[in-house]
Structures are given as structure tokens and as C-alpha cells.
Structure 1
Amino acid sequence: MTTTFSAFGVKIRLSAALLAVLLGLAAQSVTAGELLVIAHRGASGERPEHTLAAFERAIDQGADYIEPDLVVTSDNILVVRHENELSDTTDVAAHEEFADRRRSKTVDGELVNGWFAEDFTLAELRTLRARERIPGLRPANAHFDGLYPVPTLAEVLQLVRAKEAESGRRIGIYPELKHPTFLLEQGFDIVDLLVTALRKADLDDADDLVFVQSFEVGPLQRLNRMVEVPLVLLVKPGAGPADEPAMRYEEMLTPSGLAEIATYADAIGADLRLLLTGDGVPTGTIAAAQGAGLKVHVWTLRHENAFLPPIVQRGTGESAPGDLAGLVGIVKAAGVDGVFTDHPAVVVRAAERWDYPARRAVTM
């Protein structure tokens, strides 16, 4: 059974199960405020991730923040890639001149074989081109393989400035430090490099539209002493910070653990599975974190069934599109403060539709 109702002139169809979840959340009197939309590596559901094209498309679609993951070159330039290992997101394997750069490294306790950004100069990286990371799920994105270079953080900031001038609105950045402790052991201090970049761009004050995120504790504690921008500890199930191997994220999400996080961070960026059950029911983590004074941002909202909880999966097949707009309604009603998404256009529209104070006046 499905139910149709209109909100702001837009008709929305809900399954009976999803409608029950939404009404149940509303009955809990959860207050849902403005939802930050964070473009996860850009509009990466439509363009290869971490390209200037993906970032510009996300900005044009109304994202509040864009999220660049940061790694470093051998000449200490911050560049934007999902990982320091390059073969999943570039054509490095096709470059015979770099065949001897392939090697194995133990990164955060995991043996990784491939080509690593920190072994290349920026000039060498400029010869590579981006490719779609998950072409099996996103074959349309693969049509753009080979078109875009690897951008630097400085180029992403320049793009943001240009789009702010063009659009007349402020656009935030939400950089993630990738493997900062591992890279420090290799001689690259990406914490210091990021702070220097933020100061140079005049983006290190509390009122700047910047969040800095990491899965690691020590780098956030350092940043807390160096900049005023809000900091975010990333958390996921079944793991712990690479720089604190005795700690587990689930244990850090207890009341005492959240109180400790609040001494050096301003928010948690949480895997959806830590916040909601597969049926869309809150686990209690959102309320607990907010009770400790932390904002809660959830990752990652994507429209393919492979990434969606069962309640909003539709059709068959991992690449089939599910009900992403319905999931936005669930997380907004549950009280999260922001969402990371590969599909900012869909989430921006859905966030505008799911205005919960107004929704109570809607006739179903």
C-alpha cells in the first residue's frame, strides 16, 4: 500500500512501512531544524568523485558544503583524492612511466598495494586523469573517465570563491584528513599543511563555513589548539581510530565517550548504521550526541539500493535507485543536523519538502 500527499505543491508517495516510520518519529516530538546538505566528494553520483566538475555541479545543485578528501604529494601539496592509493580513482595503472612506483604499504594496519600520492610530485600527478571509482554501480559516470585532472585543495578553494561571486551565496568546505598519522610517520604533516592553507585563505575562524573531519583523535586534538573552525570526529561500526587502536567507535558513543569527544570536537560524522536500524528506527545515538553538545552529520546518502537501508530500497539489483527522498525524510525527522550525499540535487529538494512543522498541517 502507498499513500500520497502534497507538500509545497510536490506530491510524495510513501510506502506503508515508510509512512509508519515517519509518523512514529513525529510522535516522538523530535525537533528537526535546518538540514545541512554536504556534497560527498562533489556530486559524485553524477560525475567522477573529487573532480572540479563534480564539485561545481554540487554547488550548482544547491549543496551547502562540498567535501574534499585530502592527501599529499611528495612535494607537500595537498591534493584531493578519496585515498592516498590512486589506482581506484585515476588511470595511473595505464601509465607505463610509473610502473616502477607500484609498491605495498601498510596503511592504518591494512596492507595496500598500488600507487600512492605521496610518492608523486604534483607535476607527475598532473599527467593522470580521474576515473569513476565504482563503475559497476555507476556506469554513466564512467563515460567521463579520462577528462579531469586531480585537483589541489587550492584549486577547490578557488572554485568556491568563484562560485560564491557568481551565485551571491556562501558555500562551505568540509575537508577530511585522510590517514594523517600514517602520513606523519612518512614525513608529511597534513594537519599543519591544512592549517596553513586555511589561514592563507582566511578560513580559520569560527564564523567561516568550514568543518574539518577525521577518523582519528590526535589530529583533531591538535587542530582544536590551532584553528577555531568546528571539528568533526568520523565514526563507523566495527572499527576504531587508527591512532588509538585500543578504542572502538561504539564505545566512544556512550555518554562518557561522547562527553570526551566534545572536549576536542564539535560534531560527529556517523555512518548511517550507527544512527538508524534497517527499519529506520533511531538507535539513540543522535539524541545522546546532541545531549553532549555535539552536532550529528550522517553519511552517506546515495540513491543506489546497495547503499540504502531495506526500508527505502526499491526494485531489484544493487544499482537500482531506491527512495532516497524518503530516507531524507527519515533522517531529518530523527533530528540529524546534516547529511553527506552523492546526490545533492535530490537531497536539497527532499530537505525542502520535508519541513516538519509545516508537514503537520498537511492533509493526507
Structure 2
Amino acid sequence: MTASLTPAAAAPVPAASARPVVIAHRGASGERPEHTLAAYERAIEQGADFIEPDLVMTKDGVLVARHENEISGTTDVAERPEFAARRTTRLIDGVEMSGWFTEDFSLAELKTLKARERLPRLRPGNTAFADERIPTFAEVVALARKHGVGVYPETKHPSYFRGIGLPLEAAMLKVLADHGWTRAADPVFIQSFEVENLKMLKGMTALRLVQLVAGAGGPPDRPGTAYADMLTPAGLKEIAGYAAGIGPEKTLVVPRDAAGRSLPPTRLVADAHAAGLVVHPWTFRAENMFLPAELRSGAAGEAHGRLAEELAQFLAAGVDGLFSDYPAAAVTAVRQPR
């Protein structure tokens, strides 16, 4: 399902040498429940360059924005007696998960659910937004086109969805094409923690692709491969054969010591740039529990620390963009003279 919208001219996207881009992580998810139109609209108001939807599939083949296909933590599905019998257990990327899964619901059924704040103790203010619904990817793209910002979708568990007969790739590209976005110059990055998913997309689209990498583990579709092995100069050169950039966990750029304090930056940004890749680390959050020890304010994990200083660390390290739950802070940081 795609919205009826006449494509507008594509908004320009800064190149690697221009101002770093701000990617609103699941929208302005520090201020609104993640992956809701309210979160995306708030991020656009705050000046984000891109809004980021994680994409999963309904049983009738429609892409919707949820962090995971298991939705008990981000909707009121567990409170809905008519769906009680759909609670089940699935093996997702080798991990057993129990709950309610988008692939067991039609879009019409999912649209009856209400979104919920995933971290209510950490972000109690977000619980006031109790009437938001699950948006389709088409609705997210239409919102972005309306306001002249880009989209940065992540394909969630693409091998799993392909294995159950609900492949994500073609459906995602169709939504983007329906809204006029097909070219490398268009304001779109497509990201994935998997490798074969991105290589498949490389043969299907000219849109830019980003290989996500975590500080531990490896791609779910490549058992035995560690993300660390992909971040050597040779590994980065291989990534550059199918992707335009990497999205590293932020401690791969600025690591921390055993006490949680920041250490000097690694060579990752320089090595990625040498391979022709842009670097968009994740995820910048204001709460103490996510900040390095020297930038925390007080003892409470939910209290806000000195996020601006952490953002400045990474900008000084030469990153090309930032994923942030608080896009306003990131927008302010990237606009500071350096």
C-alpha cells in the first residue's frame, strides 16, 4: 500500500565533505514513542536531515515501522483479549523470542493497536502520547517528502522474513520508487546488519546502502564472521564494493575504558574514508546510562548528562553523520563552527 503523492524534487543530501547529517533515530524517540508519526514529525520540526524507520512486514505484505517484529513492548497488543491466542514463540536470527509478531497480523489489525513507549521508566514523559498508531512505510515516506527530508530505513531480520515468504527488499524499493526515489543522489540510505541483504539490494537499486556493524558479534546471515573482521582495511574495502557507508556502534569510533570513560578515537573513521565509505555511528542519547562516565550528570541513569560534549567528540573525529534519539541536540552540534 502506498500513498498517492506526486513526487517532488529530491532534496539534496550533504556529501561526505559537507556538514554531517543528522539521522533521527526512530524519530525524535527521546521525546515521543519511537516509530510513530509523532516522533517523526517532532524530528522534522527539530531540523533532522533524515528520519529512520525500522521495517518489518505484516502477513498481508505491507511494510510497517517497528523496531522489532515482536511488538509486545511497543504496542498495547498484550492488553487486547481478541489477540491473546496469537502469542507465540519464534526463532529470530538464532534467538528464541516469545510474544506477538507483525507477520501474524494484517495491516488492518495492526492499525487497531496503539503504540506504547518502549522505555517508560527511562522516558516517562513519552507515556503521555497514548493514542499513536503504527505507521506504514508509505506513510513515513509521504511525511518525509512533504517536509523535504530524507529517509534512512533499516531492513529488520531480512533473512528471516525471506524465509517465511515475506521478503522485504522489493516491497521497500517499490514504496520508495512510488514516491520518486530511485537514484544515488536521492535522500535515501538503506541500512542492514546483514550482508547478503545489502548485496542483493546492490543489484536491485542505485540508492545508497549502509552496512551496520556492532561492537560484538557478527552478521546474522554469516555465521562465523565477526563484525571486527569486517572493519580491517581489507574488510572495509570489501564493504565498499556493495555499500556507500558503514553505521558503526559508537564505541567502535570512540572506545571506553573499563570504568566507562572515553578513550582516544580509533582509526575506523580514517580507514573507512580511505575505502571511500561514509561513517554514521549510532546511537546518541542524552540519558546518563548511555553516556561515557565523564559526561554523566549525577548518579541517576535516567538523568540527562552532557550529550553535546559527546557529539562534539565524534564530530571532531570526522564522522559524516549521527544517529540520535535527540535530533535537536545533534542539529545544534553539527551547526557549531569547527
TM-score by length of 1: 0.86
Look up the equivalent residue of 2:266 and give its one-letter code.
T
Following superposition, the deviation at residue 284 of structure 1 comes to 1.2
1:283 partnered with 2:245 = no
**Secondary structure class of the residue paired with 2:207:** coil
Cα deviations by residue, 1:11-68 (Å, 9 ceiling, x for unpaired): xxxxxxxxxxxxxxxxxxxx98511000000000000000001000100100000000
1:262 partnered with 2:245 = no
**Structure 1 Cα separation of the partners of residues 268 and 221 of structure 2:** 23
Structure 1 runs (4+) deviating above 6 angstroms are none
Aligned to 2:38: 53
Aligned to 2:25: 40
Aligned to 2:135: 151
CA contact (8 A) 1:178 1:214 kept: yes
CA contact (8 A) 1:33 1:335 kept: no
Matches within 5 A, 1:247-326: 247-278=225-256, 279-326=262-309
Following superposition, the deviation at residue 162 of structure 1 comes to 2.3
2:83 aligned to 80, 98, 103, which one? 98
**Secondary structure class of the residue paired with 1:192:** helix
1:185 aligned to 163, 171, 176, which one? 163
* Largest Rg, 1 or 2: 1
Aligned to 1:171: 149
**Secondary structure class of the residue paired with 1:300:** coil
**Secondary structure class of the residue paired with 1:299:** coil
Following superposition, the deviation at residue 240 of structure 1 comes to 0.6
Aligned to 1:129: 114
**Structure 1 Cα separation of the partners of residues 188 and 146 of structure 2:** 17
CA contact (8 A) 1:276 1:282 kept: yes
**Structure 1 Cα separation of the partners of residues 208 and 65 of structure 2:** 20
Cα RMSD for the two superposed structures: 1.2
1:215 partnered with 2:161 = no
Cα deviations by residue, 1:248-301 (Å, 9 ceiling, x for unpaired): 101110111111111101100010111112214211111111111110001000
Look up the equivalent residue of 2:327 and give its one-letter code.
P
Look up the equivalent residue of 1:65 and give its one-letter code.
F
**Secondary structure class of the residue paired with 1:155:** helix
**Secondary structure class of the residue paired with 1:34:** coil
What percentage of aligned pairs have identical amino acids? 51
CA contact (8 A) 1:32 1:334 kept: no
**Structure 1 Cα separation of the partners of residues 108 and 75 of structure 2:** 15
Matches within 5 A, 1:57-96: 57-96=42-81
CA contact (8 A) 1:107 1:182 kept: yes
1:116 partnered with 2:94 = no
Cα deviations by residue, 1:219-261 (Å, 9 ceiling, x for unpaired): 1001111111110000001111111111110111011111111
Structure 1 unaligned regions, length at least 5: 1-30, 164-169, 357-364
1:351 partnered with 2:326 = no
**Secondary structure class of the residue paired with 1:269:** strand
CA contact (8 A) 2:141 2:176 kept: no
Residue 138 and residue 235 in structure 1: after superposition, are their counterparts in 2 closer, same or farther (change >3 A)? same
Q: Which has the higher helix share?
A: 1
Following superposition, the deviation at residue 311 of structure 1 comes to 2.8
1:141 aligned to 122, 126, 133, which one? 126
Aligned to 2:179: 201
**Structure 2 Cα separation of the partners of residues 234 and 38 of structure 1:** 14
Structure 2 unaligned regions, length at least 5: 1-15, 257-261
* Equivalenced residues, count: 318
**Structure 1 Cα separation of the partners of residues 285 and 196 of structure 2:** 30
